[in-house]
Structure 1
Amino acid sequence: MCNQIGVGCLRTQTYHHRCWKERTVIAELLPTIDPETAARFGTTPDESRVNRAATALEGNGISVLRAANAAEAKRVVLGLIAEGSEVNHGASTSLDVAGITEEIDHSGRYEAIRPRTWSMDRQTQADEIRRLNSGPDVMLGSVHAVTETGSLMAASMGGSQLGPYVSGAGRVILVAGTQKIVSDLEEGLRRINDYAFPLEDARAQAAYGIHSAVNKILIINREITPGRITVVFVDEVLGF
């Protein structure tokens, strides 16, 4: 289990199916992250911090489940989704590493939106793509920070996953390694800008040949619809 992010752990998370050339892009970037920052934001916390965050989330109308590792997180998440459900997800290292993306998109058990929209023409079917992405039965994803006061923080370059998180999706299931727990919103912003963004930028360059950007940041302080949002905390470093 990776309890602190590092070159080997990040390679395993992101590019175990990709070529070595792509992996070295990540390895070359990692030394630019200050070691103190990496230790603060890339290490799993003690149980008391996890419990504080979980209790605060529950108090804010957000359900919390626990998983010991990525494999267990996959079982938990899939157990929450009925076969035949319309399911969408954004690009997420956490979902990829856990094997959730593969199961949703290719098992045939679900009505997967992402493969469908990727096969559509971006010029002539843009409106249909937008509508399909905006209101699925179930939206899967992750966040970049979870505060001990019970807020969720997600950053995005384009923002297509944020609308479903807020209100578009019938249900939202977010998978988050416990290393993403921070004290408050201010520290959450530091985690996004100083830690998660450099790693995501390297991933985007390796995967797509483009830079990422922190263009939009969503903060969810409370959910008013009971049972709509579930956070699955994973007790190991998972994602950025």
Structure 2
Amino acid sequence: MGWHEVMEAEAVRTAASPFESARFGRSVERLTVSAESAAELSDVRAVVLASDADIIILRYPAERVGWFAGLTTLGRTAIPADSLTYWRLRVGEGRAPDPEPGIWPGGAPATADVRALVRGIFGAYGNHYLANPLFDAGAALDGYEEWALRSAAQGDCVVVSGQAGVLALATLEEDTVRTEILLAGVVPAAQGRGVYGHLLRAVEDRAASRGAAEVVISTQGHNTRVQRAWGRYGFEPVQTVLTVHLIRNRLLV
């Protein structure tokens, strides 16, 4: 879920999700209330009641904690699906590691490398799809792979390599103001060796070369290990967003 939708959009944003609908065989709609939106629960209610989607993936600021009780009265089954935490780094303020022999940034990964990296890095990642009994975990991983391949095809990715090949991958979305890290991780065999810090440095260096002011990133709330790494590097927490799946009751019978 992009930074603008979560942090800056003024109105409630709703959109069909054709990729997810095709992947899971159910019509899926995304509904987002940003941190800066003045929307009320009544606005969300109106959108939900008008929707024909089988599943609505709703995200809203965690401070609106009282909303969940109201979501259970809309004629759908409301399933809590964890949270997203958003962090931000001002470019130039990262506590980057010193260069190390045998670890270097750069290079464009081949399609086969991207597939293997995503499956190795994210195969056990506890994403929000796992909360939904109608979503297949394997199909969710396929979605991550497709997402990463689209970024790689557009040149919107950074890798860190070593003698054994590509050690870490980050896929990006970039504009004139910021660089957003979409997916980022280190292959299991290279974890615990400080490679992740070199990956963040490569992203920050790329953002600086483009004149971007900040790097932003998000993860599921339970993923505290990576959040500690962000804190060590210099990222600061900005926002937590709750995720709720609203499912048509007849689909769960």
TM-score between the two structures when normalised by the length of structure 1: 0.24
TM-score between the two structures when normalised by the length of structure 2: 0.24
Would you tell me which structure has more helix in proportion to its own residues? 1
Would you tell me which structure has more strand in proportion to its own residues? 2
Larger of the two Rg values belongs to structure: 2
